[in-house]
Amino acid sequence: MSDLIFDVTEATFQAEVLERSKSVPVLVDFWADWCGPCHALAPVLERAVERHGGEVVLARLDVDQNQRLAMAFQVQGIPAVKAFAGGRLVDEFVGAQPAAVVERFVEALLPSDADRAAAAAADLDPAQAAARWREVLEQDPDNLAARTGLADLALREGRPAEAIELLRPVETDPEVAVLLASARLAAEAADPTSRFATAAAQASDGQADPALATLLDAVREGPGEPRDKARGLMLDVFRLLGDDHPLTTTYRRALTRALF
């Protein structure tokens, strides 16, 4: 075993797979000692991972010793290989596969040349970074890193509407949820005609409680455009706070009661 190839259990899965996959793709090999095809696939997986020198890692999980995890991920046959990136399951296959198939599977998880260029741009000064990100988008219009980089720069420079437009093609990706919420709140705060400008500004400045109270009052007023707008802004505040924040828990319950 090594830093690239390691065993995981139910106790370590959260940290070693889900959290670690936010910085590097993690393959999880669901296997058992009695499984012949598992032993055939293992060295193929290990060689593929070692070939990429740390760009992907391999976690081995014994299904006999970790049955709840196997059930949670609906493992019905082994070997089963599941790939995690960004804290979530992104791809998988079942059964022993030839080396070429495994290699293609691994390569699909790795950053593209455009992804690497977009990531490298983050170390440049803002003007140079923006130019590089735009170059990346010319080649790969949906590149998440480039769009996120440009949107974050636009937001920091006081152009939230531009940030929203940049993120629109990728707005359903969980990785942009917080940035997009920040941009929408900033845009609302900057709108002098908005009834909710003050609440949005409070939320953007870390004063979530009074902001949510104001928005909730608007939701309670009843159906209509103001209610829909207030509800959407509350959801954006929840995204900034995170699902586990006490204010999110409290106001989400209150929002549900107000709506239903």
Angle between helix 177-189 and 160-167 (nearest 10): 150
The kind and range of the H/E element at 173 are none
DSSP assignment string, 84-125? EETTEEEEEEES---HHHHHHHHHTTSPPHHHHHHHHHTTS-
Write the DSSP symbol of residue 95.
S
58 Cβ neighbours under 8 A, 6+ residues apart = 4, 5, 6, 26, 27, 28, 29, 45, 46, 49
Residue 220: CB atoms within 10 Å: 14
Tokens of 140: 């790969």
Q: Token pair 């440009």 is at which residue?
A: 150
The three state secondary structure string of 13-30 is: HHHHHHHHHHCCCEEEEE
Contact 83, 26 (CB under 8 A): yes
Write the DSSP symbol of residue 5.
E
Max Cα–Cα distance, the chain, nearest Å: 69
Strand order in the sheet with 57-62: 5-7, 57-62, 26-31, 80-85, 88-94
Q: Token pair 């006999």 is at which residue?
A: 64
Write the DSSP symbol of residue 221.
T
Q: Token pair 């992907």 is at which residue?
A: 56
Which is the catalytic residue, given 8, 17, 38, 216?
A: 38
Q: Is 35 a catalytic residue?
A: yes
Q: Is 255 a catalytic residue?
A: no
Which is the catalytic residue, given 8, 17, 27, 35?
A: 35
Catalytic residue numbers, as ranges:
35, 38
